[in-house]
């Protein structure tokens, strides 16, 4: 191992250095440039019950802080996350696909479903109810065939272009101001990126003046 003084390490921008001399506890090991701390001493310290308890308490405080911050700034945090995904769509898609293919994720997903089965059923039931309510009885077989074709088109576009496509309800089924229908002329196969940005909104939301009329 190369002999380097702390001064030389600072000049060279090294994070660690090695002098070949023992520390005050007799360890001949690398030292941290910023604090001149012996790396062996650091390693032994991290194995003590006191240090582990201190780390545990710190993690608990950090976890509570993050929860509180999320509760107080939920809308802003979600909006920033959405903006990041939209700016880095391809990167996020590849990373997500790779993560979902791992055994760890599959195990986590199974455990999550087992623990939150009631919540998942409730969400899916609300979605199906809104879709069912928005699907009028007067739809013909031809209309239903067109709906199926639109979903097939979204799948083909995804395969051919390599860009994930969703079937979007132009007027959302569960919009804030108005609810649309699950009918052919209210459906469109569009890139998932655009659909995520649109969310449960109309492209042109009614103004407050229009709502008052």
d(CA 181, CA 90): 31
Tell me the per-residue pLDDT of 65-75, one tens digit each, with 9 for 90 and over: 999 999 999 88
pLDDT of residue 209: 44
What's this model's pTM, rounded to 2 decimal places? 0.43
Whether residue 41 lies inside any domain: the answer is: yes
Whether residue 170 lies inside any domain: the answer is: yes
Whether residue 95 lies inside any domain: the answer is: no
DSSP strands (E only) in the chain: 16-17, 31-32, 165-169, 187-191
Whether residue 192 lies inside any domain: the answer is: yes
Tell me the per-residue pLDDT of 81-133, one tens digit each, with 9 for 90 and over: 888 887 888 888 888 888 888 999 889 888 888 888 777 776 676 666 666 66
**Boundaries of domain holding 23:** 6-50
Whether residue 37 lies inside any domain: the answer is: yes
Whether residue 73 lies inside any domain: the answer is: no
pLDDT of residue 62: 93
Q: How many domains does the chain have?
A: 2
Whether residue 126 lies inside any domain: the answer is: no
Whether residue 84 lies inside any domain: the answer is: no
Contact yes or no for 173/182 (Cβ under 8 A): yes
């Amino acid at each position: 191992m190369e002999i380097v003084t702390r001064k030389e390490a600072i000049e060279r921008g090294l994070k660690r250095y090695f002098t070949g001399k023992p520390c005050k506890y007799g360890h001949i090991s690398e030292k941290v440039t910023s604090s001149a701390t012996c790396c062996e001493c650091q390693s032994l310290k991290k194995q003590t019950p006191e240090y582990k308890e201190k780390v545990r308490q710190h993690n608990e405080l950090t976890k509570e802080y993050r929860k509180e911050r999320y509760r107080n700034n939920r809308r802003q945090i979600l909006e920033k996350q959405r903006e990041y995904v939209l700016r880095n769509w391809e990167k996020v898609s590849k990373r997500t696909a790779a993560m979902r293919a791992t055994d760890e994720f599959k195990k986590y997903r199974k455990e999550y479903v087992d623990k939150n089965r009631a919540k998942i059923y409730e969400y899916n039931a609300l979605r199906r109810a809104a879709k069912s309510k928005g699907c009028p009885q007067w739809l013909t077989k031809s209309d239903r065939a067109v709906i199926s074709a639109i979903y097939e088109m979204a799948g083909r576009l995804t395969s051919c272009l390599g860009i994930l496509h969703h079937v979007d309800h132009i007027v959302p089924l569960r919009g804030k101001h108005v609810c649309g229908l699950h009918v052919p002329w209210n459906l469109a196969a569009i890139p998932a990126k655009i659909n995520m940005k649109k969310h449960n909104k109309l492209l042109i939301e009614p103004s407050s003046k229009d709502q008052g009329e």
